[in-house]
Amino acid sequence: SERFMVMLSEIQMPMDETTMHQLRTFLNMPIERIPQYSLYLHDLKRWTTDGHMDHAPLLSSITAVNRVVHMLQDTIDARDSLRNLRQVELKYGLPPDKDRQFVKEGRLQKVCRHAVKVYHVVLFNNALLYAPTGWKAMYVRKHKIIDLKGCSVSAVDSLTDSVRNALSPNITHNNALQFLSSQKSFLLIADSPTDQIEWLAAIHDAIVRVEMSARLSISSVDDEDAHNNDAEFVIKSGWLPVKRGPKWKRMWVTVDYQHVSLATSFQAPPDVQLLIAGCDVEYIADSASCFQVTGEDMLEDNDVGALTKEFTLDALHDRDEWIRAIDHCVRCMHSGGDMVSTSAVSEPNSGYAPIYMFGAAKNCTLCFEKFALIRTRHHCKYGNRDDNGLLLIVRFLTTDHYCRRCGNQVCGKCSKSKMVLATGSTKPERVCDKCMNVQRNCVLPPNL
């Protein structure tokens, strides 16, 4: 206040420079004084021998002061995080969430279908928000929020020439990272390698924390309802090439505490249901991605009992995770103890939404035919008309479509089919013939 400033100036008038410096020191806030105490104690430690009687109390004092410093810093960080969170919620009209925490925000370039645009990216502890930065975004809320459960992030080794040209003709760096989720997948480009590393580490740590919090949900066997819920809980699921005999077939594989189920389509009744208690899973020595599962099929019973079947599955780079999930369920059923839910948070790559092909393609990526131009005729009531009373109007309507599974641009003839994708939605999506053939009989390589 003005009164306090007048009083302070009156006190400082008869003081010399040394005394005035001491007064300024006493007026410092605790957050400024306590780190100075830590420096003083460390300086005193350098002049104190190990055998001195004050050495042990000095070490104890340094530990206590450092603990207070860390506590104050954590309090300041939490206050700043809460302030930033409230600003983001107010800007984009987000409803308050007690479990949401602010982690990081900044501007990143997002590779869209036809251009590279600057987006405001906000990372929460459980979600990722991105929104355009143009003037229209201030009036039209076009932000999107993606839940981090089941997501994946990785660095991109190199960018395509079309993306480089859209950024800058002379660009040489590769500060890109790839974000994959079941809702939306895209590329983000940072301004520097340092920003890329920071964003990559922050998003990866947030995903790991979300997965760990889901994996550590413990249910008690004493509660029968909780036990039944855990028994029906899906631990892992995804599309995998499966072989029983000479031919591979792409199937939807689901692992829970009771069964290993195999179905020919997503969210359909299983064709094979192996009892988890009698399953045996093992590696295949001459393959780096395949493993073998043996068990009793509960859907095909005869007079003797359930039939024992053996399947070979190709999980690509996710083989160890599949084997770990099946072993976990088998051990839980044999032990009869508490079940630790591991949660279905590690979806395979086929469960992610595709990164759409950048730029406008001139030809179909499957049949290589040029995209057609449609000409339509309309009756003209005014102006010049031809002999038939019709005016030819040319509409440049391209017939290209994006496959919702692989993201490539294909023509209408090569994308007539629809299928339910492994992204959590039950709505059939339009896919290309190549992806449809993979789904039907796996006649093409499964890792598109």
Type of residue found at 435: C
Judge if 198 and 107 occupy the same domain.
Answer: yes
CATH number, domain containing residue 274: 2.30.29.30
Q: Which residues contact 141 (CB under 8 A, 6 or more apart)?
A: 92, 93, 131
Domain boundary residue, one of 151, 182, 215: 215
Residue 447 lies in a domain: no
3-state secondary structure the chain: CHHHHHHHHHHHCCCCHHHHHHHHHHCCCHHHHHHHHHHHHHHHHHCCCCCCCCHHHHHHHHHHHHHHHHHHHHHHHHHHHHHHHHHHHHHHCCCCCCCCCEEEEEEEEEECCCCEEEEEEEEECCEEEEEECCHHHHCCCCCEEEECCCCEEEECCCCCHHHHHHHCCCCCCCCEEEEECCCCCEEEECCCHHHHHHHHHHHHHHHHHHHHHHHCCEECCCCHHHHHHHHCCEEEEEEEEEECCCCEEEEEEEEECCEEEEECCCCCCCCEEEEHHHCEEEECCCCCCEEEEEEEEEEEECCCCEEEEEEEEECHHHHHHHHHHHHHHHHHHHHCCCEECCCCCCCCHHHCCCCCCCCCCCECCCCCCECCCEEEEEECCCCCCCCCCEEEEEECCCCCEECCCCCCEECCCCCCEEECCCCCCCCCEEECHHHHHHHHHCCCCCCC
Judge if 113 and 188 occupy the same domain.
Answer: yes
The pLDDT, as a whole number, for residue 38 is: 83
The pLDDT, as a whole number, for residue 382 is: 46
Judge if 241 and 284 occupy the same domain.
Answer: yes
Spatial distance between the Cα atoms of 178 and 175, rounded to a whole number of angstroms: 10
Judge if 244 and 303 occupy the same domain.
Answer: yes
CATH number, domain containing residue 435: 3.30.40.10
* Of 348, 320, 353, 332, nearest in space to 233 by CA: 332
Judge if 32 and 49 occupy the same domain.
Answer: yes
Judge if 109 and 47 occupy the same domain.
Answer: no
The pLDDT, as a whole number, for residue 427 is: 78
Judge if 379 and 311 occupy the same domain.
Answer: no
Spatial distance between the Cα atoms of 419 and 428, rounded to a whole number of angstroms: 5
* pLDDT, tens only, 218-254: 343 344 444 454 445 778 888 888 988 888 888 888 8
Residue 273 lies in a domain: yes
Residue 7 lies in a domain: yes
Phi-psi region of 152 (alpha: psi -120 to 50; beta: other; left: phi over 0): beta
* Of 149, 136, 134, 145, nearest in space to 95 by CA: 145
- The answer, as to whether pTM is greater than 0.75, is no
Residue 448 lies in a domain: no
Judge if 242 and 274 occupy the same domain.
Answer: yes
Q: How many domains does the chain have?
A: 4
The pLDDT, as a whole number, for residue 401 is: 80
Residue 411 lies in a domain: yes
Residue 241 lies in a domain: yes
The pLDDT, as a whole number, for residue 124 is: 93
Judge if 187 and 250 occupy the same domain.
Answer: no
Domain boundary residue, one of 293, 321, 346: 346
- Contact call for residues 274 and 288 (beta carbons, < 8 A): no
Judge if 236 and 319 occupy the same domain.
Answer: yes
Alpha carbons within 13 angstroms on the beta-carbon side of residue 130 total 19
Domain that holds residue 30: 2-89
- Contact call for residues 125 and 205 (beta carbons, < 8 A): no
The pLDDT, as a whole number, for residue 55 is: 87
Judge if 365 and 424 occupy the same domain.
Answer: yes
The pLDDT, as a whole number, for residue 129 is: 93
Ranges under pLDDT 50 in the chain: 218-227, 229-231, 337-350, 375-386, 390-398, 443-448
Domain boundary residue, one of 346, 371, 393: 346
- In the block, residue with structure tokens 């009744």: 269
Q: How far is CA 147 from CA 119, 189, 264, in A?
A: 18, 20, 28
* pLDDT, tens only, 321-372: 888 888 888 887 766 544 443 333 333 344 688 888 887 777 888 888 877 6
The pLDDT, as a whole number, for residue 220 is: 38
Judge if 339 and 238 occupy the same domain.
Answer: yes
The pLDDT, as a whole number, for residue 429 is: 85
Residue 254 lies in a domain: yes
